[in-house]
Amino acid sequence: MIKIHAINNLNANGKDGSKENEELALEIARLVSESMTYSNSNTYSKDEMEGLNRNKTTESMLDLINRSYLIYLTNEQDELVGCGMVVRQDNRYFAKTLHIRPDYRGLGYAQQICDLREEFLRTIGQKEIYIESLKYPKTIEFHKKRGFVEIPPYRELKYTVLMKKPL
């Protein structure tokens, strides 16, 4: 049985250094790294992957948790199996860090997290959501099936594409 958890720090000051959030940030950083490596399939070189993973630290995940709306899933052993966040960035709401543990993929959990993020944004009156997606073909396909379209970036992007979806 999968448990759904939500933490809303979207309007917080970003300073919650609680032990629980620190432990969760460590678990999320591990999940993100594992998921990115699993999904790569030679889209990015080894050096590029090291660079992309370099900023996926416990500290950076804690910063995201402390300023985001976070949905995360745990299994019966209270192990993290998936997560996704929404952050306000550049006066827009962005979906961030949608990752599912490889052994839990294909079961609809990413869809569920996306649905919950989008429903949250609708409840606060938002009409659109953005994502900077890594260029993994399956990831881009997933987002396009969910209604995202690629749009021109408003800033320089090297490893990602900018996508937008109306809510």
pLDDT tens digit sequence for 116-144: 999 999 999 999 999 988 777 888 999 99
pTM as predicted? 0.85
Number of domains in the chain: 1
Please give the residue range of the domain that contains residue 82: 3-166
Could you give the count of Cα atoms lying within 13 Å of 120 in the half-sphere of its Cβ?
A: 23
Q: Say if CB 87 and CB 94 are below 8 A apart.
A: yes
Consecutive H or E run containing 141: helix 137-145
Helix (H, G, I), strand (E, B) or coil at 39: helix
User: What value does the mean pLDDT take over residues 90-102?
Assistant: 92
pLDDT value for 158: 75
Task: Measure CA 66 to chain center.
Answer: 14
**Tokens found for residue 107:** 């079961």
The sheet carrying 80-89 orders its strands as 3-8, 68-74, 80-89, 92-100, 128-134, 160-166, 149-150
Average confidence score pLDDT of the chain: 87
CATH of the domain at 31: 3.40.630.30
pLDDT value for 7: 93
